[in-house]
Structure 1
């Protein structure tokens, strides 16, 4: 039997912030399944540039949360980078993948349960 999977779009987020705010930036990224890719101090300044991967679905409202957490001193820029496999099984509701499928089915007014294959196959 096939094992379907979902892919999700991932942003590359480029954040410039004062070095003293790095912990708050990391905290906001961790809450949203972000993964730190790179961190560099900008020479001659008190700023640090952080590059991280952030699922697009988790990015809504991120700028406001980051600006609030850092008192307006962090500036994110997002751009599409790649697709990544969404962890978990789409038919198990206790996984992130299953929750996404459930939310989509609710939004489209479909029954919560995915129909069994037997109900979809034409009989002759």
Structure 2
């Protein structure tokens, strides 16, 4: 059971600017849903630029850190199942996040933990 911190941080890193953009947009747009759509739109444009400019060359040099080259193993499956059970229990107990940024943060943590436990399968041919 090895947790890859580098992959987890790379998986978590896009969510930080998304939450920051949402907070900045939410200062000017009061409606949560509209602010979330605007934040996702701005984030998508920035993400596409950063992906083609920086991420693609980086992952060509370091394919072991690319999430697309990872696969589920028994530990990642167990963590995934436990996380689903925990989230269902939180929803049933009404302890789920009450705001959009809470959901984004919870999903980011979930995704990065699962990605950290996945194992490297090699590059796709």
Pairwise same-fold verdict (TM > 0.5): no
TM-score, structure 1 as length reference: 0.24
Q: Which has the higher contact order (CA 8 A, sep 6+)?
A: 2
Greater strand content: 1
Greater helix content: 2
Larger Rg: 1
